[in-house]
Chain A
């Protein structure tokens, strides 16, 4: 709820000039309507309570994600109708079951789409923090569906085992799941790649195909502001090569990558781009060398909902592979049915593992815990070392959604200190070093 004051550079330390915070007054005319109009424009508080909680800067990214998801949904529906028609014609239950799986994919996409759309709603007095949590809940629902589907697949494998009266044709299973795999790979590519249909984003991340790695970025940062973000990479995939993300902000906090990034303020990620993967020969040439500064250092990050849809599709393709192997086994040697079951079980477990990291993130956000990238001890120490500050207590740091962090604490100051100056210093310090911009500090005198 606090924005950088316009007249603050005088009291701020020199390192603050690097900060590229943009004042809300300078926003493009797409500013959201304010719910609590303030009498004057110059204020520390957010106007309408939405300042950074609004998505004006991010709506671009959001529309990009929504577009991707809509394309995926359309594709899915087309494939599904093809399968349904084929299944009815061939009178095969297996094809219809696969069509039902595609239907579940569509449902997952719908959930993600809805979450993306709902996250952009304006904050209301009842929902004073905005609707960003809906993304997290939508992702939770998606992941639960993945688990449910994995369970259903295991159940189907057991049913196949029981109904060993030859009505299961290995070849048909193989063919259908191969088709499903192709469909899923197409959608994984679609959801995973940031094709940048002329968005002018300076993203240059690339992914390998299939499921060789994943990296997740938090979405929802306004690139003009310094927000906290987290990068978490990979689930169970090797990610020796997984990203060339760019950060244009100063960070005072640590990221959880196993790969070094250089955080230059917005120049080149040339250092990063060399880590792109030659072994996967698709290459998103265009954006890599684009001047990033002009876009305000937009990060290439994955929205959590697009990512959960991606996980869904990934899980489906992994399971398709499992079913393919099972079908091949049954086709080749129908008496080795038990292998089919074992195979399905193994692949289901793999799918569940891919979701664990994301589930952990979701859980942490929902439990209002301190986000991983923020070191609370360091923050507190830093605050205590400021002159005038006697003690810090009731420190709470929590995230609304993966990228947005809030902080609330009580600061006890010496009886003769100037509350205003200390407030500025504290807010500036937190913003500068930890990129938390929604800060509420209660100053108490000893």
Chain B
């Protein structure tokens, strides 16, 4: 399992190597990929760079506050506008997944516009509702794209940890949307069950097929993430995973609609209810792990890839030092793969803090936690 060396690590999973996603790699290697990934962009995010050599404290000597501003002004609004423009520029010279996502979004937008117009002019409600649904989905995907573009910015004064969290946020939003989708499909199934009106399915076939094709294209783009349970090594993983699940869920829904109308022509009763119900349950099960994972990062739950017993062991090892009275440690994940901790150690008066700092840092560095703040209280 140790063959996962730096060289093979690009921003995409190597296609054939499925071992990686299912195994729990020892996390002390976690930070290496950040070093060597071609991290396709100009930004050399200082957050994600760690030197190989052992350094007891964080090596940065600049205050984060003194990083020169990238934006012209402080105000929030113009910052976001500047960010949007930067994102547009960023897509043009962005990473491959970004370009693919942008392509997909534009396809979807074009398609939904056409559908909306046709639906409006011919008065078919089904097309309009489908168009709306697509538009919502496109909006969410655009937010994902935006997150991909923005997250490469360097940390600045207000965002001292950088913008990588945005990817996790967009993954969370995506999974939330998919949960809503599954609920609405369930409601639709209920609706069809009670009302028994199925005539509007016929002319939706064309739109469903087109939808399916577009979404399958998207699934193909992100095919290495087409899995339910993925171990996340990098923040972009979550985002790509969420996008993939999004298009996957959409294609499942279209496939379900096609199947339902086919079954109806075969004369199977309640086909619609059945298909919609199955699709709803499937989407729900697909999305739940992603939702939990992103939610736990946003909730600042202790990192899941480090076993709690490892934390306990470290605490005990620190407390085992004779001059230490008490240890308290809190950890949270900024993005998958980057852990931050606050440790508070109570020691006897007059003890040299260097030694303790080195000890604590060494212990946690072995676990892969680089960003630590250790407070030493003297009693």
Q: Which residues on A sit within 8 Å (CB–CB) of B298?
A: 133, 136-137, 366
Asked whether B63 lies within 8 Å of A380 as measured between CB atoms, the reply is yes
- Complex: how many Å from CA A129 to CA B298? 12
Give CA–CA (A394, B155) in the complex, Å: 11
Chain B contacts with A in 269-314, Cβ cutoff 8 A:
295, 298-302, 308, 311
Closest to A49 in B: B328
- Within the complex, the shortest CB–CB distance from A391 to chain B, in Å, comes to 7
Residue in A366, A369, A406, A419 whose beta carbon sits within 8 Å of that of B158 in the complex: A369
User: Residue A368 contacts which of B63, B165, B373 (CB distance < 8 angstroms)?
Assistant: B165
Q: Confirm or deny: A330 has a beta carbon within 8 angstroms of a beta carbon on chain B.
A: no
Interface string of B121-139 (1 = CB under 8 A from A): 0011100110010001000
Given the complex, which residues of A lie within 8 Å of B299, measured CB to CB? Answer: 127, 131, 133-134, 137
Give A127 Cβ to nearest chain B Cβ, in Å.
5
Q: Find out whether the CB atom of A376 lies under 8 angstroms from the CB atom of B157.
A: yes
Instruction: State A444–B352 Cα separation when bound (angstroms).
Output: 11
Among the stretches A18-26, A37-45, A183-191, the one at the interface with B is A37-45
Given contacts A395-B63, A397-B160, A442-B357, A44 and B346 within 8 Å (CB-CB)? yes
- The verdict on B65 contacting chain A, using a C-beta distance below 8 Å, is yes
A408 and B340 alpha carbons, distance in the complex (Å): 10
Tell whether, in the assembled complex, residue A367 and residue B65 are in contact, meaning their CB atoms are under 8 Å apart: no
Chain B contacts for A395, CB-based, 8 A: 63-65, 160
| A391 in contact with B61 given A155-B129, A363-B169, A377-B157 (CB within 8 Å) | yes
Q: Give the distance to chain B from A105, nearest Cβ to Cβ, in Å.
A: 16
Which A residues are CB-close (under 8 A) to B177?
Answer: 144
Contact A126 B302 (CB under 8 A): yes
Pick the residue among A44, A140, A393 that contacts B62 (CB under 8 A).
Answer: A393
A367 to B159, CA, bound (A): 7
Are A45 and B65 interface neighbours, CB within 8 A?
Answer: no
Question: Nearest B residue to A46 by beta-carbon distance?
Answer: B328
- Identity of the chain B residue whose Cβ is nearest the Cβ of A126 in the assembled complex: B302
A441 to B378, CA, bound (A): 13
A347 located at the interface, meaning its Cβ lies under 8 Å from any Cβ of chain B in the complex: no
Q: Is the CB of A155 within 8 A of B328?
A: no
Q: Give every chain A residue within 8 A of B373 (Cβ-Cβ).
A: 394, 408-410, 440-442
Q: Is B331 an interface residue (CB 8 A)?
A: yes
Q: Does B344 contact A (CB under 8 A)?
A: yes
Q: Please tell me which one of the listed residues B64, B136, B302 contacts residue A128 in the complex, with CB atoms under 8 A apart.
A: B302
Q: How far is the CB of B198 from the nearest CB of chain A, in Å?
A: 18
Knowing A163-B125, A408-B342, say if A127 contacts B301 (CB, 8 Å). Answer: yes
Residues 141-180 of A at the B interface (beta carbon under 8 Å): 141, 144-145, 148, 151, 154-155, 158-159, 162-163
Most chain B Cβ neighbours within 10 Å, of A141, A396, A439, A443: A396
Q: With an 8 A cutoff between CB atoms, is B379 at the interface?
A: yes
With A and B bound together, what is the CA distance between A36 and B299 in angstroms?
Answer: 21
Please name all residues of chain A whose beta carbon is closer than 8 Å to the beta carbon of B65 when the two chains form the complex.
Answer: 376-377, 380, 395
Task: Indicate whether A89 reaches chain B with its CB closer than 8 angstroms.
Answer: no
Provide the A113-129 mask, 1 if CB < 8 A to any CB of B, else 0: 00000000000011111
Closest to A131 in B: B299
A400 adjacent to B300 (CB under 8 Å): yes
Which of B64, B120, B308 is the most central at the interface, judged by chain A CB atoms within 10 Å of its CB? B64
The reply to whether the CB of B57 lies closer than 8 angstroms to some CB of chain A is yes
Query: Does A440 contact B375, Cβ atoms closer than 8 Å?
Result: yes
Name A128's closest neighbour in chain B (CB-CB).
B330
Enumerate chain B residues within 8 angstroms of A363, measured Cβ to Cβ.
Answer: 169
| Residues B120 and A144 in contact, CB atoms below 8 Å apart | no
A49 to B329, CA, bound (A): 9
Do the beta carbons of B60 and A394 come within 8 Å of each other?
Answer: yes
Note all chain A residues with C-beta closer than 8 A to B180.
Answer: 144-145, 148
Look across to chain A and name the residue whose beta carbon is closest to the beta carbon of B65: A380
Tell me the minimal C-beta distance from A126 to chain B in angstroms.
5
Q: Do B342 and A440 touch (CB < 8 A)?
A: yes
- Which residues of chain B from 65 to 79 have any CB-CB distance to chain A below 8 Å in the complex? 65, 76
Query: Is residue B220 contacting chain A, with contact meaning CB distance below 8 A?
Result: no
Please tell me if A351 contacts chain B, counting CB pairs below 8 Å.
Answer: no
**A151, B326: Cα distance in complex, Å:** 54
CA A148 to CA B187, docked complex, whole Å: 15
Q: Which A residues touch B128, using CB under 8 A?
A: 155, 158-159, 162
> What 3 A-B pairs have minimum CB-CB distances, sorted nearest first?
A128-B330, A408-B373, A440-B342
**Apart from A155-B128, A162-B120, A397-B160, what 12 extra A-B contacts exist at CB < 8 Å?**
A45-B326, A45-B346, A128-B300, A133-B299, A140-B172, A158-B120, A159-B129, A163-B125, A368-B159, A395-B63, A423-B377, A440-B373
Residues of B within 8 A of A (CB): 57-58, 60-65, 76, 119-120, 123-125, 128-129, 132, 136, 157-161, 163, 165-166, 169, 172-173, 176-177, 180, 295, 298-302, 308, 311, 325-326, 328-332, 334, 342-344, 346, 349, 353-354, 357, 372-379
A-B contact pairs, 25 of them (CB 8 A): A43-B346, A45-B326, A127-B299, A128-B300, A131-B299, A133-B300, A137-B298, A141-B176, A144-B177, A158-B128, A162-B119, A162-B125, A162-B128, A366-B169, A368-B160, A370-B157, A376-B65, A377-B65, A380-B63, A408-B373, A409-B373, A419-B378, A440-B373, A440-B375, A442-B57
